[in-house]
Each structure stands twice: as C-alpha cells, then as structure tokens.
Structure 1
C-alpha cells in the first residue's frame, strides 16, 4: 500500500480567506483567553506590516494599525475538513481524518486510474488551489510516516518501505511525533536524529519509556498498523457561510455564492453523483429566511453551470432585508451520467450543449417559460404536437420529412398563382370523437420563390387553399 498525507499548515487562515473577496486587506487570526489574545496566523499583507504569529494582540496593535482580526470557530474548521474528505473520496475509497489539519488517503490502488504520481500530485495541488487551500503533500509506505514526514517536507515521494525508513533516519527527534517530554529526554541523552533512537536496543527503550513510545516508533516503520476510521460521505450537502457584514445587494452575494457552489461541486465529485435540486437560504438578522429553490431537469455537477443557474434565480429576487448568512442545502443527489461528445467537435469554444442552454433559459425566464414538445397519437397537424415535460416520449411515428418543421399558429389562405404541385394529395380524416372532425386533402407545393409548403383543401367546406406550414 502507498499512502499520501496532505497537510494544511494554514488551515485556519485559509478557512477565513476563502470566504472573503478582499485578499489584499491585512488580516490576523486570533485566539487564546480573553485576557491575552494572541495572533495565531497572519496573511501576507499583515506580515508586511510587521505582524507575526505568536504576537499578543496588544503588541500587534502597538506595532501597526489598519488590520482586521478574525477568530475562527472550531466548527467551521471541522466543516472545511469534512468538505476536504468528501473531495478526496473521489480519488480513494480509504480517506481518513485521523490527524488534525491533514488528510490521509491510500493512493496505491488509484495510480492506475489517475496516472503516475507526478501527474496525480499536480492534479491534487491544482484542485486544492482552486478551493483556496495551501498544502504540503508527502507520499510514504505507511500513513504514520507520511504524516510525520510532512512536518518538514513537501513533494517527497517514497514508494517503498526501505526508502521510507532511510528518510526517517534523518528526521529530527522533535519532529517525530513523540510527546514533548520524550523528545526532550532523547535530546538530553544526546540523541538528535530519529535514526539514533531507532538504533537503540528495544529492551533499553522499554525500560526507560512507556509502551506508547515503542508503539509509535513501530508504526513509523510500518511494523505495526495504525487503526484508522475511514470517511463515509453523507447523503446530503449542507454548508453555511457567515458574511462579514449585512449584505443588501445581489452583487455582494455572488462571491460567497460562488464559494458555496464550488464546495458543492467538490462534494458531488467525491460522491460521484450530481444534483437536481438545491435550496439557497438567505438568513437575515431578523425575520424568517428567504428561500430560493433551484431545480434542474437533469442531474449536473459542473461548478460553472450550477453557479450560473443559481445566479439567474438570485438576481430577479427581491431581498426583503439585509442578509447576514448564506446557506446551501442539497438533498436530491441522483447518479450523474456524463454526456457523450464527439472527438472532433466543431467550434467547441462557442458551442453549448442543449441541456446547459435549457437550464440557463429556465433560470432567467422561469420554470414555465421553457417547455418540451411531445408527439401525440393524432393525425391532425394542430393536435399532433403537445407541450410536455422535457424528455417526454411521443407515440406517433412519422416518416422523416413527411411533415413540415414549421407549423403556422393558424392556417393562412394561399394563392394558387404560380404554385407547383409536388405530388399527390394525402387525405386526413380524423377527430370525429372529440367534436373537431376534419376532412382535408394535403398537398406539397412550391412557390415561385422556391419555398416549399404544406397546404390543404377543406373537403367539408370547399374553398381556397390553406397553408398549414413550411418545410425547411
């Protein structure tokens, strides 16, 4: 087996930054007791002001001004970790959140599907960057070694147990994951590297230290297995973003909406499913939430398309009160079947699949503005096509080209001057059962301008020639 550890060294800071649209504003994540607030992490603009992690808030205020302070709730960080596990589930069935701020996933069985490790690693880094998260990635022969080596390495790939053991030999003792008092005891003994500790007799270690120390060292070397709880994706997506201030305009809601949609798309990719209906809750400081329902006719999971659909539903909405939080809930998650496309598709950049165009029109114009057509078992042209739900199947089988592609809303009188008759008449007698009885002779005709039409004479009331429609 081969294990990858993805460590997120700035998870708390990235959790805040990915929800904000002002990356150039100096920002500090604070924590600690009320009497002594401490800067836990700072972004690049705040670092340029001289702020550093570990400073007290009082010292930071004395040193610089004009930076924002945010305290991240542990529940929010846990929500992001759950999202990351759902995202990683698309690459491996064995994903674990055993360590904080880190993902463990078994990749040995995934390399045949996602390519050699360099290409696989590049894909992981690209998708994590799109999610707004910085990372360090290490591959080793067991999960414990991968996690420990991620403390001091990035991009290290050790594909066999011997390579893993050789790399562990040079690891500083204080970075080996041992308790602080144990690492300090080894340091006082003159043991600075893990290889020096591993060279000691097991009996000597057992006399001086607890059994947990030897267990940890054995797990580092892969001699014992670490019991892991593997992630199981939930059956619904429920995410919530707290906005920095009360929002009253649609434009200010687009950035957090895009972030929620991107998270939804990552979740859907991990579960290998799509979404057909989801709800957007606009939470106000006072009063009930404003509920926006987005429904699709087919399952989709492309982030750009889902965002455009939600945006199309959001912009016409009248917001009754300032929005404090944004919440997205998706419970209808049917299987997703990708569309088949031609290998050499003409004008791929300009072309848009009909399904996406249909959903965009429904989002802009309303659900009832776009309907499908269904063939009905009736030979009367005005009754042969009926409005229907998208995807409905008809029962009337017609020969290709036997009916015009454009039927007029109402038949029009057609002058017979210069007409050319293209074939014998086709008689249609139908409708006696519903009071709409018709007896007509239909002809294919061509005008002097070269237009081909479909016209009839009413046998029940002889008169002029009536145009029913045009052929393409």
Structure 2
C-alpha cells in the first residue's frame, strides 16, 4: 500500500482568505476570552507588519493599527476539512481525517488511473491551489510515516527500502511525538529519530508508556493502528458569512463563485452531479428585532451537472433576476438532489470548436438568463393542422418509435418559421415550386380547416409556404417562411 498525506498548515487562515475579496490586506484571526484576546493566525501582510500568532490583541494594536480582525471559527475549519476529504474521495476510497490539520489517502490502487507519485502530486497540488488552500504533501508506505514526512518538505516520497533510513535522519521534534516526550528525549542527548529506534524497547516503554512504542512501530510500518475512514455525506451544505450588509446581487458573485466551486469539487469526489440546489440569502434583523425570512432562489437543471463554471453561470443567472427584500449578510448553498452523473458522449475526432457549448449546457444557461417558461422544447402532436401539430415540452422533445400522423406529414416539406397567424402574401410570386397539398382536418372540435398549400418562390428569391381555401382561386395566405 502507498499513502499520501496532505498537510494543511494554514487552514484556519485559508478558510477566511479564500472567501475574502482582498486577501492581500493585513488580516488576523482572533480568539480567546473577551478580556484576553489573542491572535490565532495572521496572513502574510500582517506578519510583515510584525504581528505573530499567540500575540495578545492589545500588543498587536500597540505595534500597528489598521489590520482587519476576523473571529476564528473552528467549526468552519472542520467543515472545510470535510470538503477536502470529500474532494480527495475522488482519488481513493480510503480517506481519513484522524490526523490533526491533515488528510491521508491510500493511493497505491490509484496509480493506473492517476499515474505515479510525481504526476499525482502535481495534479493534487493544482487542484488544492485552485480551491484556495496551502499545503505540503508527502507519500510513504504507511499513513503515519507520510504524515511525519510532511513536516520536512513538500513532495517527498520513500518506498519500503528507503523509509527506515529516511526516518532515522529525521529530527525527533518533527516526527509527531508529544512535546513532553520530545523534550525528555532531547535531555537524554537524542536528536535524531534513528537514535530513538535504537533504544531498548522495555526501558523506553517503562519511561514513556506503551503509546510511544506503538507510535514508533507505526512510523516504521511494523504496527497498523486502526484507521477511521471518511464517508462523504449525501448532501452539500455550505455557507459564507459576508461580514457586512450587501444590497446588490453583483456583490454576491464573489462568494457565489466560491460556493459553486466547492460544490463542483464535492460532486467530483463522489462521482455524481446535481439536479437541483438552493441559494439561501440571509438578511439582517428588522428594527423591531424580528428577523426577515431568508430569500430562497431555486436553481433547477434538466440534466445533472457538476462543472464549476456551468453551476456558477446558472446560479448567477437566477441571482441577477432575484429581488432582494433587504440587505444580505450571509449566503448559503444547499444541494440535496445529487443523482449519478453521466458525462456527455464525445467522438474521438470532435469537429465542434473549442469555444462552442454542448446543447445541454447552452440550454441551462438560456433557462437561467431568460426564465423557465421562455425556453422549452418542441414535440410533434397528432394533428394535421400546422398550427396544432406541435406542443411545448419541458426539456428535450420525447422520442418515440410509434408513428403518428404529424410524423408522416413531417416527411413533406415544412417551413422552419411558422407565423403566429396567417396573413396575406404581399410579395409578388415568381413561380410555384410545389403543390397543392390539401389539408382537411378539425371537424371534431369546431375548428375545421380546408386548405390547399403551395411552396412558392417570391420575386426576391424567398421561399414561402402559402395556402388558399380548398378548391378556390382566392389570394394566397402566407403561413410560413423557409430558411
């Protein structure tokens, strides 16, 4: 087996920065009691000003002013770690979050799909950066060794033959043992993990306990402590606190893009799609301390999708048409209908230009921009009258092998543009190309028609579909145009 460890050393700060419109400005996370507030984490701009984690908030204000403060939210950090575990589930069915600030996954069985460690390391890194998380990665024959190697550098990989030698050269403060155990070993004059491996087991167990021996054996792969594995949830629920009141839907596009990107990563991990999701806009309280109900925007799809750009475009189209009853203070995305996703079939030599959209994606974008009622499909209807030979349908027109009257009639020449109501043909006729074709129908619903249809060419070279009363010689009525 081969295990990879993804260490997320700045995860608490990354959770905030990935949703922040100005991550380059000085920002700190604060926690602790009100009387003893301290800095939990700082970004690069704040660190450049002399601020450090663990510093009291009073001391920070004494050094510099003008930095932004955000409350540290451990629950948001765990939610982000669960999101990354669901994303990692795409690469392995054995994913664990039992190591603090890290995710481990078994990658030995995935080499045929994703390549060897250099290719997989590059791919995981690109996707983590796109999601907005800093990381260090390492791989080893067991998860405990992989976790320890991430304390040294990014990209390390050792197989069974080289692992013991690499661990022996590791400083003991980097191997993951408890701080008091490390301090006691250093007082004994030990600096490298190899020297600890060489100590007699019985005296080591008497002084430090059996847990230390178990940890050392796990690092070498001589013991396999039980692992708890992550199981992705059957729904997606994510929320972004805006930190201020937003009165325009345009200002919600930045957090919306992050939420839809997270949804896409979650769907890719479980190899599924989304058929419907909801945007919940959270509003501030009334002046009478009564909370305004959340505004709900439903985004429904005719076919499951999971591409981040596609989900964002659909949600943006719905959001821009929504009326905000009050300023928004939070944005939440909830997706519970997660059916299997079947990618569109593509030919080996696809002639479609790269910038062209597949029909399913174009249809969903039009529905989001124009509304559900304005985008529909057409289906044949068993009626010979042209204005009644079709019906509006939601989605694509249903396919059927059963022959119908209009299906037979459709073999004849029919125009692509049928007028809403017939009107006199005012263009001079150059010649008659086909006809007459007689249509008599509708006697059963008091809308009887008896017409002789002609395919004619006008003096301008246009082709028209026109008729006159059956057996008559009156003027032609225009009913449609050919392209």
1:456 aligns to 2:456 (yes or no):
no
Mark the CA change 1:467 to 1:292 in structure 2 (over 3 Å): closer, same or farther: same
* Whole-angstrom CA distance in 2 between matches of 1:97 and 1:319: 39
1:324 aligns to 2:329 (yes or no):
yes
* Whole-angstrom CA distance in 2 between matches of 1:27 and 1:315: 31
1:208 aligns to 2:214 (yes or no):
no
Write the deviation string for residues 176-228 of structure 1: whole angstroms up to 9, x where unpaired. Answer: 22222222222222221111111223334334331111111111111111311
1:436 equivalent in structure 2: 447
1:412 aligns to 2:418 (yes or no):
no
* Whole-angstrom CA distance in 2 between matches of 1:74 and 1:418: 79
1:306 aligns to 2:329 (yes or no):
no
Query: Would the aligned equivalents of 1:144 and 1:226 in 2 still touch at CA under 8 Å?
Result: no
* Whole-angstrom CA distance in 2 between matches of 1:95 and 1:125: 17
3-state secondary structure, aligned to 1:119: helix
Query: Would the aligned equivalents of 1:373 and 1:386 in 2 still touch at CA under 8 Å?
Result: yes
Shift of the alpha carbon at 1:105? 0.7
2:477 equivalent in structure 1: 466
* Structure 2 unmatched ranges of 5 or more: 286-291
* Whole-angstrom CA distance in 1 between matches of 2:318 and 2:103: 36
Alignment TM-score, normalising by the size of structure 1: 0.94
1:229 equivalent in structure 2: 228
2:7 equivalent in structure 1: 7
* Whole-angstrom CA distance in 2 between matches of 1:302 and 1:337: 12
2:180 equivalent in structure 1: 181
* Whole-angstrom CA distance in 1 between matches of 2:269 and 2:11: 20
Moved over 6 A (4+): none
1:108 aligns to 2:108 (yes or no):
yes
Aligned with residue 373 of structure 1, among 378, 388, 394: 378
* Whole-angstrom CA distance in 2 between matches of 1:226 and 1:143: 10
1:125 aligns to 2:119 (yes or no):
no
1:389 aligns to 2:394 (yes or no):
yes
Name the Cα RMSD after superposition. Answer: 2.1
Query: Would the aligned equivalents of 2:40 and 2:72 in 1 still touch at CA under 8 Å?
Result: no
Shift of the alpha carbon at 1:417? 5.8
Shift of the alpha carbon at 1:237? 0.8
Say which is worse superposed, 37-46 or 324-333, in terms of deviation: 37-46
1:67 equivalent in structure 2: 67
2:289 equivalent in structure 1: none
1:362 equivalent in structure 2: 367
* Whole-angstrom CA distance in 1 between matches of 2:72 and 2:428: 82
Say which is worse superposed, 9-18 or 340-349, in terms of deviation: 340-349
1:345 aligns to 2:344 (yes or no):
no
Shift of the alpha carbon at 1:156? 0.5
* Whole-angstrom CA distance in 2 between matches of 1:187 and 1:374: 80
Say which is worse superposed, 388-397 or 251-260, in terms of deviation: 388-397
* Structure 1 unmatched ranges of 5 or more: none
Query: Would the aligned equivalents of 2:236 and 2:334 in 1 still touch at CA under 8 Å?
Result: yes
Shift of the alpha carbon at 1:165? 1.7
Alignment TM-score, normalising by the size of structure 2: 0.92
